[in-house]
Amino acid sequence: MSRRFYELSPAERREQMVAEGRLTPEADELLAAPVGLDPHTASRLVENQVGQLHLPIGVVPGVLVNGRTYTVPLCTEEASVVAAAANGARIVRMAGGFTAVTPTRLMTGQVVVAEPRDPRLAERIGQCREELFAAAAQAHPSIIARGGGLRDLRVRDLPPADPAGGAAGTRGFVSVDLSVDVRDAMGANIIDTIGEAVAAVLRERFPDEEVLMAIISNYAVGSLVEVSCDLPAALLVPARAARGLEGEELAGLAERTARRIALASDLAQVDTTRAVTHNKGVMNGVHAAALAIGNDTRAVEAGCHAWAARDGRYRGLSQWSLTRPQGAAVLHGQMSVPLPLASVGGTIHALAQAEAALGLIGAEDAAEVARVVAAVGLAQNLAALRALVTDGIQKGHMSMHSRALAITVGARGEQIEQVAELLRSAERMNQDTARRLLAQVRAAAGEG
């Protein structure tokens, strides 16, 4: 019988992906490389470099989004993340896959005036629109040549931090928000260049005003992804639990599982204590994918968490609800997240392995990458909620964690799997047990 993807060795997995045309032979070679960055690149990427940190990249195969199947790379230190995402993606694939849309892909920049002297400054800046657009175009002609550039400009009055009159100021701020089409880049440099050109015009036009800063905003609400899926409840019942059940009994269990997932989702809408962990599960997928493809994970995290609190209360990013479109129970999942992911620029091309990982997704553009990554976030969330409201998280988690525990106590090579295997059936899975089992494995191998 042919082995399943997760049963193959890393080399066999890559070989299969090359055979399927998902991985180029060059990317295969890069991902197989046992070392990280060459010392020269590493020392140029950050200041005061002294070492490197290596993390594994795993793949989630079969992520079905808008009718196309993707293989998505995840880079993470957490043992259960890839397995959970693959599990969620498998369930959604059986139901026909995810639907995902990106209505716009625009990035935001901010030019801020502090303590405006003129109470009508916002209105006056609005009157310079044309001049500001011209300055933006002149500042970055190459983005215009690539079909991008400043698309919109909005001016907002902001209050002072302390209405009673703090040490820094009492008159507040005026923010000029720039919506920029940066094509497939993350766009920080493009936006900052355009922002500084806009700031220069403001300084010239309003010499009595204090321009405080010009910078990209990581609140990327111009790059929202909306992702959803509809899952017949029967798909949610773990095979183990379904064994021996049929007809109404099985349908009842399926509906109870779907209802409990919907309740878990409701809980994250009303309770911050739970919402943070719910979103951590979503970000397990989103963050790991962003990291694998060399994107700015901090920008993505900051934007997503701010979006989760957009109505003034921090809530779960995703929502699951029990529906009955044709009588039978269906779990509807949906999520919107700002995902300013890039498929070009930044450090992607300096990190050869990240570039190879990005190639695995095989997306046409950055918006497609974002749709696929959002789907992985929702898949991850589904797997977490399903585990939480059925078996509990520890069973799967600890089984995955057993390998990390084995490595922690010093197991190497084949010993890792041997100790992990023993740990899975041990009464207590902790470091003491792992140490004892490692000694046992070594003794059996004659290592004393």
Closer to ligand MEV by CB, 108 or 279: give it.
279
In this complex, which beta carbon is closest to ligand MEV, that of residue 302 or of residue 393?
393
Q: Rounded to the nearest 5°, which phi and psi values hold at 6?
A: -70, -15
* Minimum separation from the CB atom of position 281 to ligand MEV (A): 3
Q: What is the token pair recorded at 304?
A: 């997503």
Segment lying near ligand MEV (by CB under 6 A), choices 40-48, 88-96, 158-166, 276-284: 276-284
Is residue 281 at the binding interface for ligand MEV, with CB under 6 A as the rule?
yes
| Single residue of 43, 49, 138, 277 touching ligand MEV by CB under 6 A | 277
- Per the CB < 8 A criterion, the answer to whether 348 and 293 are in contact is yes
* Residue of the chain from 22, 260, 278, 371 that contacts ligand MEV (CB under 6 A): 278
- DSSP reduced 3-state for 448: coil
Q: Return the SS3 of 279.
A: helix
**From 17-25, 118-126, 274-282, 362-370, span contacting ligand MEV (CB under 6 A):** 274-282
**Phi then psi for 216, rounded to 5 degrees?**
-60, 150
Asked whether 185 and 348 are in contact (CB, 8 A), the reply is: no
In the complex with ligand MEV, the residue whose CB is nearer, 225 or 264, is 264
Active-site annotation holder among 15, 78, 152, 271: 78
Are 262 and 255 a contacting pair, CB within 8 Å? no
Strand partners, 99: 228
DSSP, res 234: G
Near ligand MEV by CB under 6 A, which window of 186-194, 337-345, 384-392, 420-428? 384-392
Q: Please indicate whether residue 280 is annotated as part of the active site.
A: yes
Number of residues this chain uses to bind ligand MEV (CB under 6 A): 10
Provide the mask over 73-92, with x wherever binding to ligand MEV is found by CB under 6 A and - wherever it is not: -----x--------------
CA dist., res. 332 & res. 67, Å (int): 18
8 Å CB contact between 232 and 330: yes
> Directed axis angle between helix 414-424 and helix 431-444, to 10°?
130
Least distance (Å) between residue 400 CB and ligand MEV: 10
* Active-site position among 181, 209, 296, 368: 296
Burial environment of residue 9 by CB neighbours within 10 A (0 to 12, 13 to 18, 19 or more) = exposed
384 binds ligand MEV (CB under 6 A): yes
Query: Cα 347 to the chain's mean position, in Å?
Result: 17
353 binds ligand MEV (CB under 6 A): no
CB of 336 to ligand MEV, least distance (A): 18
Q: Kindly state the smallest distance separating residue 299's Cβ from ligand MEV, in Å.
A: 21
The residue among 27 and 335 lying less far from ligand MEV, judged by its C-beta, is: 335
Kindly report the backbone phi and psi dihedral angles of residue 300, in degrees, each rounded to the nearest multiple of 5, phi listed first. -65, -45
Cα gap 287→378, rounded to integer Å: 12
Q: In this complex, which beta carbon is closest to ligand MEV, that of residue 71 or of residue 80? A: 80
Choose the binding region for ligand MEV from 147-155, 279-287, 426-434, 439-447 (rule: CB under 6 A). 279-287
State the catalytic residue, choosing from 280, 301, 305, 421.
280
Residue 359 touching ligand MEV (CB under 6 A): no
40 tagged catalytic: no
Pairing mode of beta strands 224-232, 330-338 = antiparallel
The residues pairing with 100 across neighbouring beta strands, listed in sequence order, are 227
Instruction: Please say which residue, 137 or 388, places its beta carbon nearer to ligand MEV.
Output: 388
Of the candidate residues 83, 245, 267, 393, the single one contacting ligand MEV (CB under 6 A): 393
280 contributes a contact to ligand MEV by CB under 6 A: yes
d(CA 442, CA 446): 6
Q: Minimum distance between the CB of residue 317 and ligand MEV, rounded to whole angstroms? A: 11
Contact 219, 161 (CB under 8 A): no
Side chain identity at 86, as an amino acid letter? A
427 is catalytic: no
DSSP 3-state assignment of 71? strand
Catalytic residue list contains 296: yes
Binding of ligand MEV at residue 212 (CB under 6 A)? no
Is 431 a binding residue for ligand MEV by CB under 6 A? The answer is no
Q: Considering the rule CB under 6 A, would residue 49 count as an interface residue with ligand MEV? A: no
Query: Using CA atoms, how far apart are residues 130 and 142, in angstroms rounded to an integer?
Result: 20
By C-alpha distance, which of 95, 27, 22 is closest to 60? 22
Contacts with ligand MEV by CB under 6 A lie at 78, 277-278, 280-281, 284, 384-385, 388, 393
Catalytic sites, residue numbers: 78, 280, 296, 397
